[in-house]
Structure 1
Amino acid sequence: MGQILFENCRLFDGLGSELLEDRHVLVEGERIKEVADRPISADGAEVVDLAGRTLMPGLIDAHFHAFAADPDFAKMEAMPRSLLAQHARKLLEAALLRGFTTVRDAGGADYGLALAIKAGLIKGPRLFYSGRALTQTGGHADFRALEDHSAFCFCGQGSRIFGVIADGVPAVRQAAREELRRGATQIKIMASGGVASPSDPIWNLQYSEEEIRAIVWEAASWRTYVMAHAYTPEAISRCVQFGVRSIEHANLIDEPTAALCAAEGAYVVPTLVTYDALHRFGPELGLPAVSQEKLKDVREAGLTSLEILKAAGVKMGFGTDLLGDMQVHQAQEFEIRAEVLSPAEVLRSATSANAALMNAEGELGVVAPGGQADLIVVDGDPLADLSLLQHQGARIPVILKAGAFAKRELV
């Protein structure tokens, strides 16, 4: 196995709150072999002198949409899958070049996309995918127009990309089992109303206790978990009480609900940048009028939700949920969060915290012996200046995924 030796670096290991000075890191094959505060002897290794630059774990986005070619989901559902796959390739490859070596897809991506990445056909991040999100009739992944009175079920429509309609315990069991059969690394459900869907107000509660518990059981039987789209305190608390591990968005969370999340060990994955981007660019990029109106209900509550989550000690992941061309703003999530959280808290959410959420603790999100060699080099100190992670990776001259260079532009 080939070896790469990074010398003379400052290290953010994904776990601490400070940079570690004068570190040396040896990569062997796809894994990190050694991390030391002294020079490492490795005959035959390729030596990369970082000259004081920062070495850190590759970034992880826990709420990504690879197939999100357009802000209008109904329009995307009508696109050929082959066309969406080309959009996905473009979006995934751009994310990797921003330093995101892993993404968790929150609805749409499938085993074919994962296989294309593993085969090198797509030069993209590691992909944890949910398959199609489970939704009730009229739920957040039911993108039929209000004028559409058809009675068909998405589960009988092979062309549906982002969601599968399943109503009742037998149907949700079957839908969950189908996504798990196709290799889903976790199951996504819609548990409240949302911005992108046409018929459900934000406060709408979705899925019964029996349905959610059945889905959670099916995921647990495959040794995985459920992630749930949920905005309001009631929607969030129901999910957590019924066994959901990962709450997505949570803009309208309150103190008692945050305390419940902390007590139950649930993760919350805020996605604040998408509301900012939708507000600024959504109308010109095709966000439907009904979605623009609903956006007002959740956008302004974003920073308050971070304050509530931090005060309660809730485990926070890092996600973006950006759609289409708005994914260029992926790294802006760092600076938005920095209005409430410390830089170290923000970076841990995008590294070790996300890895733990995704059942990859010690494998991803850390610079430690035995971990996957997913690493990035930052030209500067990201703990002092999170904006270094913006600008489409311009200040990230080196990106390593599974021990192989995805980018190498050291001057």
Structure 2
Amino acid sequence: MCVEPSEPPSSRLTRRGVLAASAALAGTAAALTAASPAQAIPTAGRRPARTADLVVEGGTLLDPATGDVTEDAVVVIRDGRVRAAGPRSRTGVPAGVPRLDAHGRWVLPGLIDAHIHLNTAAEARDAVAKGATSARSGSTNFYQDIAVRELARRSPGLAPRLRAAGVFVTPDLGDTLLADPELTSLAALKDGVRSADALRHVVRTNLTRGADVIKTRVNERAGLPDQDPLAQVYSHAQLSEVVAAARRGGKGVLCHSYSEKGCHDAVTAGVRSLEHGVFVGERTLHEMRRRGTWFTPTLTAVSGLAASEDPVLAERGRTYLPILKRAVRAAHDLGVPLAAGTDSSGGTVDPVGAEVELMHAAGLSPLDALRTATTGAARLLGLEGTAGRLTPGHAGDLILLDGDPLADLSLLSAPARVVRAGVPL
């Protein structure tokens, strides 16, 4: 059996993580019961993840990295990892290994959602069922994402491989002050989390809890009608404090951004990726290309605003989506790296395949759009050797589609079958 290739949490995380695990798993017994007995969460100790041997044969294999298409392909998975992949004529098929017939279907690596909010085990399982076998958290209120990450390591079929962000570094933490006793001291701050000490404190608490990345903001939210998404909440200096504190812990920062000034401040402060970025301008895009800053536009979330029953949000969606599509096309043309993220939250998991469709609608070719949820997103998450392709050494995570996704990207939103760590779901 193989386990996820990441370091185990510290002993302090293990003890304190009980609260986060309870928050993430409470009320989701049905989601866990739906798994097969072999996928059940271990009851004691830190055990290896449940992985398997599997041969997927007869399908049409697509490699997003090269665009190569292989008919009558065979993918051999051992202990949850790809050992061989290629045409049947050149790929040995081991005897005695369970087989999954993929004839008439296309075989792709599992997709990656680079911006998602997973608060429950049910949401985590839904994300996998919709094809997202790897993901990056956009933060949770009570460290549920760290518990989901551990769930994925122990029972891969129940959750995507996850890069956890912990809690949002934002001026008003609200009830998130109760996520960790270390945060309660910030309740006495009159102006909220704004001083250099307070910003560093939240980052350090996230790092102590085992966060893989740090999430902050520069603008208010677009999804709340009483907020102005162009209003700036942190200055360049404040963002620089967050970035510096994260870097001391060896972590990058993703930043919620909308206005051009906010985007520029975030990029020049050194964030690893810009999230949303509706009004990002040409000067900032050039700076992003120079620095290698990623752009995760979350077109799905902005598109969803247009369907809102609230007239303010609906108008924002209708206005923002074409602007964001132009920004995505400009970023792509300049060579700014793009990653697909749905910004799913609130109990609804949007398929990351729909984000790929919107990337294409913004002007990317079908293959380049697919790369934003495979090879591109894998680089952003630091998973180049694990996710995004089906070549030897990569995870045995894949999706089966009922047709050619390069001819019809909508197929990505409804996989015919998902395999996670060699286990068909």
User: Which piece of structure 1 moves more, 111-120 or 98-107?
Assistant: 111-120
Partner residue of 2:105 out of 50, 53, 75? 53
- Tell me if structure 2 keeps the 8 A contact 1:364–1:371: yes
The secondary structure found in structure 2 opposite 1:315 is coil
Structure 1: runs of 5 or more not aligned: 68-87, 145-153
User: In structure 1, what is the Cα distance between the partners aligned to 2:72 and 2:161?
Assistant: 29
How far residue 310 of structure 1 moved from its aligned partner, in angstroms, is: 1.5
- Tell me if structure 2 keeps the 8 A contact 1:14–1:347: yes
The secondary structure found in structure 2 opposite 1:275 is helix
2:221 matches 1:194: yes
Partner residue of 1:318 out of 315, 340, 365? 340
2:7 aligned residue: none
2:18 aligned residue: none
User: In structure 2, what is the Cα distance between the partners aligned to 1:121 and 1:51?
Assistant: 25
User: In structure 2, what is the Cα distance between the partners aligned to 1:309 and 1:301?
Assistant: 12
| Aligned CA distance change for structure 1 residues 30 and 121 (closer, same or farther; 3 Å) | closer
How far residue 316 of structure 1 moved from its aligned partner, in angstroms, is: 0.1
1:258 aligned residue: 285
1:124 aligned residue: 159
Partner residue of 2:419 out of 400, 404, 408? 400
How far residue 258 of structure 1 moved from its aligned partner, in angstroms, is: 1.1
User: In structure 2, what is the Cα distance between the partners aligned to 1:348 and 1:158?
Assistant: 41
| Aligned CA distance change for structure 1 residues 345 and 403 (closer, same or farther; 3 Å) | same
User: In structure 2, what is the Cα distance between the partners aligned to 1:328 and 1:404?
Assistant: 23
2:394 matches 1:371: yes
User: In structure 2, what is the Cα distance between the partners aligned to 1:181 and 1:7?
Assistant: 44
- Tell me if structure 1 keeps the 8 A contact 2:67–2:367: yes
Partner residue of 1:331 out of 350, 353, 358? 353
1:78 aligned residue: none
What amino acid sits opposite 1:386 in the alignment?
L
2:238 matches 1:211: yes
What amino acid sits opposite 1:126 in the alignment?
R
What amino acid sits opposite 2:410 in the alignment?
S
| Aligned CA distance change for structure 1 residues 12 and 209 (closer, same or farther; 3 Å) | same
- Tell me if structure 2 keeps the 8 A contact 1:58–1:375: yes
What amino acid sits opposite 2:383 in the alignment?
A
The secondary structure found in structure 1 opposite 2:306 is helix
| Aligned CA distance change for structure 1 residues 244 and 8 (closer, same or farther; 3 Å) | same
2:267 aligned residue: 240
**CA offsets, 1:366-411, max 9 Å, x none?**
1111111111111211111111123xx3xx2321112222x2xxxx
2:412 aligned residue: 389
2:159 matches 1:89: no
The secondary structure found in structure 2 opposite 1:327 is coil
User: In structure 1, what is the Cα distance between the partners aligned to 2:422 and 2:351?
Assistant: 27
The secondary structure found in structure 2 opposite 1:17 is coil
**CA offsets, 1:160-213, max 9 Å, x none?**
xxxx95211111111001011111110000112221356642222232333222
**CA offsets, 1:131-187, max 9 Å, x none?**
1111125xxx7799xxxxxxxxx942899xxxx952111111110010111111100
User: In structure 2, what is the Cα distance between the partners aligned to 1:316 and 1:193?
Assistant: 23
- Tell me if structure 2 keeps the 8 A contact 1:202–1:297: no
2:184 aligned residue: 156
- Tell me if structure 2 keeps the 8 A contact 1:61–1:103: yes
Partner residue of 2:169 out of 131, 134, 142? 134
2:403 aligned residue: 380
The secondary structure found in structure 1 opposite 2:158 is coil
What amino acid sits opposite 1:319 in the alignment?
G
| Aligned CA distance change for structure 1 residues 21 and 158 (closer, same or farther; 3 Å) | farther
The secondary structure found in structure 2 opposite 1:24 is strand
What amino acid sits opposite 1:10 in the alignment?
T
2:360 matches 1:343: no
**CA offsets, 1:282-334, max 9 Å, x none?**
32xxx6x7655655653341211122111211100001113336534653222
1:287-326 mapped onto 2 (5 Å cutoff):
291=313, 295=317, 298-324=320-346, 326=348
In proportion to residue count, which structure has more helix?
A: 2
- Tell me if structure 2 keeps the 8 A contact 1:104–1:129: yes
TM-score after normalising by structure 2 = 0.78
User: In structure 2, what is the Cα distance between the partners aligned to 1:261 and 1:93?
Assistant: 34
User: In structure 2, what is the Cα distance between the partners aligned to 1:274 and 1:225?
Assistant: 23
User: In structure 2, what is the Cα distance between the partners aligned to 1:121 and 1:269?
Assistant: 25
**CA offsets, 1:106-139, max 9 Å, x none?**
02033223333444498222222211111125xx
What amino acid sits opposite 2:419 in the alignment?
L
How far residue 93 of structure 1 moved from its aligned partner, in angstroms, is: 1.7
The secondary structure found in structure 1 opposite 2:85 is strand
